[in-house]
Chain A
Amino acid sequence: MTTLHLGVLLAIAWAVLTMTFLHLKAKSYGIRKLYSKPAGDPAKGVVYAFTLGMAPWAKESVMMNLPSYGAGLAFHAGVLTALGLLPVAAFRLELPSFVLFSVRLFTLAGVVGGFVLLMKRLVNPQLRGLSCPDDFVSNILGSTFALLAFAWTLSPVAEVPWMAEAMLLLIYAPLGKIRHCLFFFTTRYHLGAFFGRRGTFPPGGRFHA
């Protein structure tokens, strides 16, 4: 393990500790004690929120914006694949060729997805109006991270900039909107529990008749 790898490890530790702090801080707001009699099962609502409730067909917003949804999926797949590649680089592991091919495919898809989302944010006036600098910084950090991971699979020369980029990404993650990698799960949990308790989730119907 090189000094660079140690730096990445420290950045991971920072990200994990800071995210833990953010999680605890959010939890410190307290859990609402509920007095109304439940009509449904919050647990079933949570399960639905994390499974079928995430399916494209469960959301009209996704069905109406499939290219953006696809770009988002690709972007996240690319960044997560690049993250998974970090220990491979640190421990100099050999990847089977089909895994390597998949890694290249996902990271490249991540770059393309990130670029598409960035362009959409720049070009679409409403989306631009909705954005703050953090939106652009987060996208660029994620896209570059996936791009450098892809480059590293082609040439070890890319390792230094990739590791440096990894440190930047991990240090920035809890500071900006990338924190949604934590809060996505807590938010979805709360949404599922809320609608599950009220008997709305899992639903009996669909948005089409």
Chain B
Amino acid sequence: MPELDELETRLVGLTETDIQRGLEVFRSKLKAAEASYLNSCVHCGLCADSCHYHRMDSTLENIPAHKLELISSVFKRNFTAMGRIAPGLVGAKPFNREMAKAWVDAVFGRCSLCGRCSVNCTIGIALPRIFRAARAALGTMGLVPTDLQATVDNSLKHGNNMAVTKDDWVETVQWIEEELQTETGDPGAKIPLDKQGAKVLFTVNPREPKFFPLSLLASAKVFWAAREDWTLASDNGWDLTNYGLFNCNDEQAGAITQNLVDAMERLGCQTLVIGECGHGYGAARWEGPEWLRKSYPFEVKSILELMDEYLRAGRIRLDSSKNPIPVTLHDPCNLVRHGGICEAQRRVLRQAVDSFIEMTPNREHNFCCGGGGGQLAMARYKQRRIRSGGMKAKQIRESGAKIVVAPCHNCIDQLMELNKEYKLNVQIKTVAEMVADALVLDA
């Protein structure tokens, strides 16, 4: 495992200056809320089974409070009086090479930043906020797993995280446009590129042009049916993903967000619409303005909200009998628990399918699929990722549904692997795909 060796090498090569710099960055990420969180944990351990890692592998290392303790022990040692006076009593520990290694394992290798522990903590500690500060500190020390950092670097260098060239992107869009015309029977059906002054700038996950063109076709079909005034950007600003949310380098994350802001300004659009992607929505809608330290002069919406609006306004009509197979819904953590979009996708699906079955638990209590937090980009933790996804597999199986709808392409990748690993025998689709299939097209 060369990746393991590389990270180990970087750990061994850590200098005192690296460690001090890591501590400084960690401290700089803490505000009053985080300082409160770091003073609050009572080690009750009730959070243990709220974590999908612990639920599938019941070890001490997988308890959220243990992961938090690794970080709060360093906080106590360096930033509290009692941690300096009586470290043994309060569990304060120095930040050194061994601790840095433990942090990497905990915050990159055993956490998808899903935040399920936050809503289950008896005190109310928002643990991912602390883990993000720790990831930022590790990043400063060069300890972000290489493949995760490579995804961020791709976005910074190429404007999208899969290094899709502009020519490839434009060609794919043109090909999907032809498909759209065939499917709708409307030779005038368009997928506009760089349409100046369009109301909506639509953004997608690069997985769509690369691996799932039918997802983009479905979204385009919905826009066509709703007669939306929309466009895609041909250059930087079409990719909604932002793995800066996961390496927690705010500067890099801000630079990626800036692509979207620039595209909105360049094209003069009013609403930035984020395609079906949990972390993309979280990054663009919630974290982007914080990274850039400014409010957007435009609105940000998920395509789920937009489809919900179309249905409410009667801009599209659906025939649920076109989707007769039982459907269940996965709630991506960054879209639902951390994103606040809980009901729009449900309202849409109830009109788009004959039989909609909720997973248990759901909404803000839903389990992470295991692919969040950048896990899909960190090959070294693949086994843990697949194992931790066992909770999601169990939820899907118990729902009895034959189609799993996941409004997130990262989740879809993980669910496809879970489908194979746990022999779930289900189809996995996006909400837009279900809506596109149920559309009642005017004659």
Contacts and interface: CB of A to CB of B under 8 A. Distances in A.
Nearest to B60: A129
A207 B361 contact: yes
B45 A209 contact: no
A130 B123 contact: no
Per DSSP, are chain B's interface residues mostly helix, strand or loop, or mixed?
A: loop
A61 B39 contact: no
B39 A203 contact: no
A59 B69 CA distance: 22
Given A132-B90, A198-B339, A127 B43 contact: yes
A131 B358 CA distance: 38
A26 B90 contact: no
Contacts of A186: 32, 36, 40
Contacts of B66: 129-130
B118 interface: yes
A3 interface: no
A29 B34 contact: yes
Nearest to B288: A36
A110 to B, nearest CB: 16
Contacts of A34: 289-290
Contact of B63 (A130, A134, A204): A130
B399 to A, nearest CB: 9
B423 interface: no
A130 B290 contact: no
Interface residues of B, number: 72
B33 A32 contact: yes
A49, A64, A135, A183 interface centre (most CB from chain B within 10 Å): A183
Interface string A58-72: 011110110011001
B90 A191 contact: no
Nearest to A188: B124
Contacts of A33: 293
B362 A187 contact: no
Contacts of B300: 37
B33 A61 contact: no
Contact of A61 (B46, B60, B91, B363): B46
B46 A69 contact: yes
Given A31-B32, A60-B365, A191-B118, A183 B90 contact: no
A35 B294 contact: yes
Contact of B365 (A137, A191, A206): A206
Contacts of B30: 29
20 contacts: A29-B34, A30-B32, A35-B292, A60-B50, A62-B46, A124-B45, A133-B88, A133-B90, A175-B86, A190-B124, A198-B286, A198-B339, A203-B342, A206-B361, A206-B363, A207-B361, A208-B360, A209-B358, A209-B359, A209-B361
Interface of B: 30-37, 39-50, 58-60, 63, 65-66, 69, 82, 86, 88-91, 118-126, 129, 285-290, 292-296, 299-300, 336-343, 358-365
Given A22-B39, A37-B295, 11 more contacts: A29-B32, A35-B292, A36-B286, A72-B122, A130-B65, A200-B337, A200-B364, A203-B363, A206-B365, A207-B360, A209-B360
5 closest Cβ pairs, A-B complex: A132-B91, A199-B340, A207-B365, A205-B363, A35-B289
